[in-house]
Chain A
């Protein structure tokens, strides 16, 4: 696997305040990395360093083999980004804004722009002025802008900001598609695990400028289900005997951790029903990561 982004012992100091401390991380081609941390953790600062918007106080960052500071333009040629809220020209239409950036990139074909517009679902409103756009629409326009130069690396700072659930799902699907089919390396930041965990391969957790954990999301296919059943004790015994699963009884529901090889919950359901246990509800949960995130970032 090739490394696309290498962050090597990076530190950032502003006004004698250390904002990022000795942070190292490598991201591979086609990988989607989530940058997770509470407000003020330093996500935006790190992203700004990766795209060369601010100086790197210590250490190095390279993108596609190019040092971000010394070979800035070579590195930039591979990057598409939204950093914080996309800055567009409010009195221009969405179309004109995209046209502006397309020309900046030395020309991007009309078809390509239309394709991007369609992709971010703005076709109906693309000729309206950006000042009349909603936050989510601006965000979509920003994403279209970031994809303009077919980047190998896509960096999105809080892309879910202002998106509605449908938009969020769309974005998620999209980012997975870019990573899988086009081998694009993606960094997405967020302070909400739930918003990005489904699209990421790995999640780097940052707190007060330090990288405190990197978690694999995909390996952790252990699925957790909450069962609400008529006879929880009987169900517990059944699970252990038939499936060799140790479950926990919490209040009035069973917490069942499904091993990776047993990804189908239907066999459990069938067993319950066959044994005369009524099922009121089954809820998939993935609390393990979220609990860990809360635990890791807790004061």
Chain B
């Protein structure tokens, strides 16, 4: 590695701790978070034991799902060149030093190492304490897994980003193929599990058997990785041995290829064009993705909408135009997922008797809304508006500014709510009124949580540290949601209308309370400074 990068890594590391000393609340927050992570195994122990999963096979199940649905998508983001990002302050430094693109890339990736390690330690504890896997077996599994899976994902990232032999077209095809394989596998898994459950009831053993079947283990790279897991946890079979062998071979082979791969001019030319664009990037808020840093422009669609609205409302119209520029059809995949989920829910209730009962439509939908509102962070678009100093100079109240800066988010929630609720409702044949109730509550609850998160995570978080704030936010969210959840339990005994009215009023009240509290704390640019 090159000296300047080593220096940067060391300095950032030291500064990280220096900052913690200066901000004791931040340090406390980090500590709480780490403790929380390490308690996950203990917290889940009861549930896992109750489900009868506290075995080697149970570990295989959890680890397989983790690999397929956490690690794999993460690696896929490298393919999209989006998963790698630099801190803004690093950018100038890296580009000014004689750093090769490969090194810069590895530096950017290396920042995830800590989190990765923490995850692995958690897995280790879980394996030993919850799944009763012997310590030695666990540690061998994890050490080998850490080495080879990191080699694999890093070399894949380097190849996918920086290879000049593979053309951009080919990379796109690779990406598509990987997605198709993952999608096909998911469908395969689902149909197998569903049909088996319909035939003879639900059984985890069946899912495990599917996940360890040769078909899965032979999926290139990700399946091979599972081969090693199966081999060490469940004992050797020819297929597991072959998969493991392929796992090791691919990791070593790809690393070697990535190491030898020639990366010449293209990158540096990009870097040059970047320095011309530096003013543009300076105006961008937050971290900068590798793609942006090295000059590959984000694709934009021509959209010639006119600005509308007066006073702060024009912020909403501006955001609308910006979204039209960045998303071809205004909506993206993350929105259509809701449509798929809605249809899925409806179909499940149609074909799978007794699993989802239309009588409980409102409870299911609102429960889902609560889950989505609490666990899915609102977009930070409002924040970039407030990072523009001019916004503070505009003659309107902070409340109007904040509301309009987050209005597009509410509109998107509305669209997603329709996607989710309407197909599910129609397929379950519930009344139109119930569909309307469900949509309204979804939007209101999400909007309410948006402002809770803005106040606690962004505004208070700027002062006390974001890690600590996110814990507080979780606690507050849970407290706030107690009301709606309790109300839901009375849907069957009291009238639906009454419950709808009660939850709506409550949500509106809390929404405006937090909107107001947020806005009075957004006085000036110091409000969001750390």
Chain A residues close to B by CB (< 8 Å): 48, 51-55, 72-73, 76-77, 79, 81, 83-87, 89-91, 96, 99-101, 103-107, 131, 135, 145, 149
Bound Cα distance A157, B389 (Å) = 13
Chain A residues whose C-beta falls within 8 Å of the C-beta of B307 in the assembled complex:
96, 99-100, 103
- 6 A/B residue pairs, CB under 8 Å, sorted by A: A73-B397, A87-B283, A87-B388, A90-B283, A100-B318, A107-B310
- Across the interface, B393 reaches (CB within 8 A) one of A55, A76, A96, A131, namely A76
Q: Using A52-B524, A53-B525, A87-B283 as known contacts, say yes or no to A100 and B314 having CB atoms under 8 A apart.
A: yes
Instruction: Identify the closest chain B residue to A74 (Cβ).
Output: B395
Asked if B97 is at the interface of the complex by the 8 Å CB criterion, the answer is no
**B318 shortest CB reach to chain A, Å:** 6
Are B395 and A91 in contact (CB-based, < 8 A)? Answer: no
Asked if B394 is at the interface of the complex by the 8 Å CB criterion, the answer is yes
Are A91 and B394 in contact (CB-based, < 8 A)? Answer: no
**1/0 per residue B310-326: CB within 8 Å of A?**
11101000100010010
Known: A53-B389, A103-B310, A145-B390. 15 other contacts (CB 8 A): A51-B393, A54-B524, A54-B525, A72-B523, A76-B395, A84-B389, A86-B390, A87-B389, A91-B322, A100-B314, A101-B394, A103-B309, A104-B314, A104-B394, A106-B311
- Across the interface, A103 reaches (CB within 8 A) one of B280, B314, B325, B389, namely B314
Are B325 and A91 in contact (CB-based, < 8 A)? Answer: yes
Bound Cα distance A79, B311 (Å) = 16
Query: In terms of DSSP, what is the predominant structure of the interface of chain A?
Result: loop
Bound Cα distance A84, B318 (Å) = 23
Chain B residues whose C-beta falls within 8 Å of the C-beta of A81 in the assembled complex:
393
**1/0 per residue B373-404: CB within 8 Å of A?**
00000000000000011101111110000000
Are B300 and A91 in contact (CB-based, < 8 A)? Answer: yes
**B29 shortest CB reach to chain A, Å:** 20
Bound Cα distance A77, B396 (Å) = 10
Q: Give the most central of A73, A83, A101, A103: most B CB within 10 Å.
A: A103
Chain B residues whose C-beta falls within 8 Å of the C-beta of A96 in the assembled complex:
307
Are A106 and B310 in contact (CB-based, < 8 A)? Answer: yes
Chain B residues whose C-beta falls within 8 Å of the C-beta of A72 in the assembled complex:
523
Q: Give the most central of A51, A53, A81, A83: most B CB within 10 Å.
A: A53
Asked if B526 is at the interface of the complex by the 8 Å CB criterion, the answer is yes
Nearest 6 A/B pairs, CB to CB: A103-B314, A104-B394, A87-B388, A53-B525, A54-B526, A53-B524
Bound Cα distance A230, B279 (Å) = 53
B469-485 interface with A by 8 A CB criterion = none
B274-324 interface with A by 8 A CB criterion = 279-280, 283, 300, 307, 309-312, 314, 318, 322
Bound Cα distance A96, B325 (Å) = 15
Q: Using A55-B524, A73-B397, A90-B283 as known contacts, say yes or no to A83 and B309 having CB atoms under 8 A apart.
A: no
Chain A residues whose C-beta falls within 8 Å of the C-beta of B322 in the assembled complex:
91
Chain B residues whose C-beta falls within 8 Å of the C-beta of A101 in the assembled complex:
390, 394
Chain B residues close to A by CB (< 8 Å): 279-280, 283, 300, 307, 309-312, 314, 318, 322, 325, 388-390, 392-397, 523-526
Bound Cα distance A200, B29 (Å) = 52
Instruction: Identify the closest chain B residue to A142 (Cβ).
Output: B390
Chain B residues whose C-beta falls within 8 Å of the C-beta of A135 in the assembled complex:
279
**B382 shortest CB reach to chain A, Å:** 16
Chain B residues whose C-beta falls within 8 Å of the C-beta of A107 in the assembled complex:
310
Instruction: Identify the closest chain A residue to B387 (Cβ).
Output: A87
Chain A residues whose C-beta falls within 8 Å of the C-beta of B524 in the assembled complex:
52-55
Bound Cα distance A145, B389 (Å) = 13
**B419 shortest CB reach to chain A, Å:** 29
Are B392 and A103 in contact (CB-based, < 8 A)? Answer: no
Are A73 and B395 in contact (CB-based, < 8 A)? Answer: yes
Bound Cα distance A91, B390 (Å) = 17
- Across the interface, B311 reaches (CB within 8 A) one of A52, A77, A99, A103, namely A103
Chain B residues whose C-beta falls within 8 Å of the C-beta of A105 in the assembled complex:
394-395
Are B395 and A106 in contact (CB-based, < 8 A)? Answer: yes
Instruction: Identify the closest chain A residue to B390 (Cβ).
Output: A87
Bound Cα distance A54, B525 (Å) = 6
Are B280 and A90 in contact (CB-based, < 8 A)? Answer: yes
Instruction: Identify the closest chain B residue to A14 (Cβ).
Output: B526
Are A104 and B283 in contact (CB-based, < 8 A)? Answer: no
Chain B residues whose C-beta falls within 8 Å of the C-beta of A48 in the assembled complex:
525
Bound Cα distance A139, B94 (Å) = 29
Bound Cα distance A51, B525 (Å) = 11
**B420 shortest CB reach to chain A, Å:** 32
Bound Cα distance A249, B312 (Å) = 64
**B299 shortest CB reach to chain A, Å:** 13
Instruction: Identify the closest chain A residue to B309 (Cβ).
Output: A103
- Across the interface, B396 reaches (CB within 8 A) one of A79, A84, A99, A104, namely A104
